Amino acid sequence: MLKLFMQTVLSGIQPTNKLHLGNYLGAIRQWVQLVNQGKARYIFMIADLHAMTVPHDPKALEQDTFALAAMYIALGLEPEKCILFVQSHNMDHPYLSWILETQTPYGWLTRMTQFKDKRQKLEKFEKTVGTGLFTYPVLMAADILLYDTDIVPVGQDQVQHVELTRDIARRFNKLYGPVFKLPKPQIDKIALRIKDLRNPTKKMSKSDETGKGVIFLTDDADTIMSKFKRAVTDTLGVVKYDPENQPGVSNLITILAGVTGMTVEQIQQEYQGKGYAQFKQDVAQAVIEFLRPVQERYKQYTKDRAYVVEVLQQGVQKARELSHKKLAQVKKAVGLFEA
Catalytic positions, written as ranges = 118, 203, 206
DSSP per-residue letters across 126-193: T----HHHHHHHHHHHHHHHTTT--EEEE-GGGHHHHHHHHHHHHHHHHHH-S-----EEEE-TTGGG
Give the whole-angstrom CA distance, residue 203 versus residue 154. 14
Q: From residue 19, give the alpha-carbon distance in Å to each of 14, 119, 140.
A: 10, 24, 20
For residues 298, 303, 307, 312, the Cα torsion angle rounded to the nearest 10 degrees is 60
Helix 159-176 vs helix 131-145: angle between axes, to the nearest 10 degrees?
70
Interacting residues of 266 by C-beta distance below 8 A, sequence separation 6+: none
44, containing H or E segment: strand 41-46
At position 119, the amino acid (one-letter code) is: R
DSSP per-residue letters across 234-263: -SS-----BTTTBHHHHHHHHHHHHHH---
DSSP per-residue letters across 76-144: T--TTTSEEEEGGG-THHHHHHHHHHTTS-HHHHHT-HHHHHHHHHHHHTT----HHHHHHHHHHHHHH
Helix (H, G, I), strand (E, B) or coil at 329: helix
